[in-house]
Amino acid sequence: MEPNYEEDVFLAKYQSSELKIASEFLTNWLPFLSRDLCNDCAHVLSDRIRSLDPEHCSNIENGEVKAGSGSMVDNMESEEVDNMESEEVDNKMDNIYDGKLCVSHSLDSLKAGAFVFGSLSDNVSHAMPSSQSTVSEAASAQMSWADMGEEDGLEEEDQKENELGSHGVDVSPSVGDSMKTPEKRKLSREERERYRFMNVKKMKVFSCYEKVRGRSVNILEGLELHTGVFSAVEQKKIVDFVYELQEKGRRGELRERTFTAPHKWMRGKGRVTIQFGCCYNYAPDKAGNPPGILQRGDVDPMPSIFKVIIKRLVGWHVLPPTCVPDSCIVNIYEEDDCIPPHIDNHDFLRPFCTVSFLSECNILFGSNLKVLGPGEFSGSYSIPLPVGSVLVLKGNGADVAKHCVPAVPTKR
């Protein structure tokens, strides 16, 4: 079957002979190009090259690029996705969480208000109660991004796209125009997910040199800012769920140390926090426990929706599969709430990340941040955190530079 060059805008720019040359060239390089890819990514890459010239690429040896026998590419066709049993979906989502599959080819450490996702260090996680040690030991998530979106936002996007031609031109016929415009092909759920993944923007070149112990160092080394990770529909569902958690906390329906709402006795004090997976002690408490993770802190396990968020972050390569978060702190900011200068406790492994929702704010970095007043700080470098973005902290950005969030102007 010859590839349909007319349906692909990119391929339409090339002659058939040129595509065959490209196919032969890429086929020779396929073992190198597919190195270190997961089985499903390698299979997709092989199929993509094969589609340029099926006659030539059918001669590829089976052993060169081979998807595992349990891969999603081998076990299901795209049109079968919506017909899969929920148990199969959950199993595959668990495989993604365990780092075995790539989320962009599947069905689909965190600070929130930011959310803060993190992984516990070995000495802490081994000491945690078995019911709270890791998310991977808990029940599998019963929710996917398809469940979260429920196709509502996606269907709206489809409707808008169908009103436009393939090049963004309005195809509504004018008076007396009898020309028929071919209907645009509707994207599958997997194709939409892949498109979203390809459009995530990553900024990792942050530079700010300061004198630290007599040496000039880039205190921002290791920081990464990923934007476009969550759509508006996904953000709304996550924020609505946080509001539900807040109400449960106020009614006393969460465990003792999960929900904390201090009295707001001055500007910048009294930020609401909701902790899952582990209990972090921000300051020495009445029992004499020092700051750090409490081995017997009574908190709720990670909610399913947060596990789905983590799967997205790992599957989209925002966080490495070697450091999958098993804890989360939700910070709910009201107007004038803040987070003072600090370096996160090393009970949390690096990297960890902060995810921003509801409103944008700046986060300040510096080896010597100054407190100017209640909720007011000065630092060497300021990074805006757009709504739906993920800031990953590791290296000097996590361990040399302090960071803080000045008093926010609106709810976050």
Phi, psi of 166 (to 5 degrees): -65, -20
Question: Tokens 């900011």 identify what position?
Answer: 333
Q: Are 105 and 44 in contact (CB under 8 A)?
A: yes
Which parts of 105-234 are beta strand (E)?
110-120, 201-203, 209-212, 215-218, 224-227
pLDDT of residue 122: 63
Give the whole-angstrom CA distance, residue 354 versus residue 393.
8
Neighbour tally for 219: CB within 10 Å:
28
Q: pLDDT tier at 29 (50, 70, 90 boundaries)?
A: confident
pLDDT tens profile 281-293: 888 887 888 888 8
Please state, in angstroms and as integers, the Cα–Cα distance from residue 205 to each residue in 215, 219, 317, 325, 394, following that order.
Answer: 20, 12, 17, 24, 13
Q: Are 379 and 364 in contact (CB under 8 A)?
A: yes
pLDDT tens profile 79-116: 333 333 334 434 444 554 444 445 444 333 555 567 88
Q: pLDDT tier at 241 (50, 70, 90 boundaries)?
A: very high
Cα–chain center distance at 43: 24
Max distance between CA atoms of the chain, in angstroms, equals: 83
